[in-house]
Amino acid sequence: MRARKGRGAGFDPVNRYDGRAVEPFDDGWGSLAERAADPPPATEILPERAKRVITRNRSPDVPFDRSLNPYRGCEHGCIYCYARPGHERYGLSAGLDFETRIFAKHDAAERLAAELSRPGYRPAPLALGADTDPYQPAERRLGITRRVLEVLRDFRHPVTVTTKSAGVLRDVDILADMAREGLVRVNVSVTTLDPTLARRMEPRAAAPHRRLAAIRGLAEAGIPVLVMVAPVIPALNDHEMEAILEAAATAGARGAGWILLRLPGAVADLFVDWLERHVPARRARVLARLAALRGGRLSDAAFGRRMHGVGVEAELLARRFALACRRLGLDRPLPPLRTDRFRQPGPQGELFA
């Protein structure tokens, strides 16, 4: 497979819901050469309408039971993204389709207000961006995430925001208002401090120094911010764990978390292809160490194991993380987000007047 400028995936793998597989074939007319010369695929924004936008879960591995994703698919193109297989449910691929065919929930704010206004609704922290980044490039133009945050602020509903984009600073005014009432926490993902590796692995996400600047800007505005060292990839970025934590703590992070690389479904093939294209000399070592952390496989979806792995090396990673957090003061518990401030403002129409 060949690298495509500005894209993480090098190809579109077979959709697991489709029994057909397509292979390129030279028909004698030079069609393969023409295909190789094609320009990079453009991004297409597709509308998605849903009756409900809050997704519920019962996973014991995550600290929330509800989430909202303003977008399906993500133009950041992070090669390791565990949300990629979700595109297959729509007849699309987990590869280039995931990065270039983005579903936008234009009416997410209105749908959210309707759900929060239902009689008997009980508030609990809502995770914004649990699957795909709420501040991917389309947000600058569409502003869906900002309108969702405005609804949450008006309802005084607690929220956690997860992003690897400096675009979160565009909404610092709303986030600061919510922070003063104990209603918000922002998680900024920093995968590496190496700009070359970041550009290859996360081609359209913010550069590492801009993510650290986002942490600093949020902290200076009084918004509790945590750094997520995620994903940790053995033999590729695991040696950076302490350096990332220190840089984030210096920028103003107040807490931290980490997640081991996850390769569900087609993501495994995409990631192996990426290794072969960008770091072929490390391919065998990365995969061997990952398999050791995953009980002999590249992926393990079992609760209790999928986030941090198993075995001696997993225990060592967890120990390194805990020691670094203790040294940097990132292990101090933050106060829980408040739910007692929740209110259901008047008629929904007033929210969007």
Query: pLDDT tens digit string along 176-233?
Result: 999 999 999 999 999 999 999 999 999 999 999 999 999 999 999 999 999 999 999 9
Query: Which two tokens mark 60?
Result: 């014991």
The span from the CA of 56 to the CA of 54, in Å, is 7
**Which strands make up the sheet holding 71-72, listed edge to edge?**
44-47, 101-104, 71-72
Ramachandran bin of 302, using left for φ above 0, alpha for ψ from -120 to 50, beta for the remaining angles? beta
* Spans of all domains in the chain: 43-332
Query: Can you give the pTM of this predicted structure?
Result: 0.87
The span from the CA of 10 to the CA of 3, in Å, is 5
Q: What is the pLDDT of residue 304?
A: 84
* Cα angle 312, 318, 320; round to 5: 100
Kindly give the parts of the chain with pLDDT less than 70.
Answer: 1-40, 346-353
Query: Which two tokens mark 323?
Result: 């020691």
Q: What is the pLDDT of residue 25?
A: 45
43-332: CATH topology is: pyruvate-formate lyase- activating enzyme (3.80.30)
Tokens 């690298």, residue located: 3
Contact 99, 10 (CB under 8 A): no
List, in order, residues 6 or more apart from 310 with CB less than 8 Å away: 293, 294, 295, 300
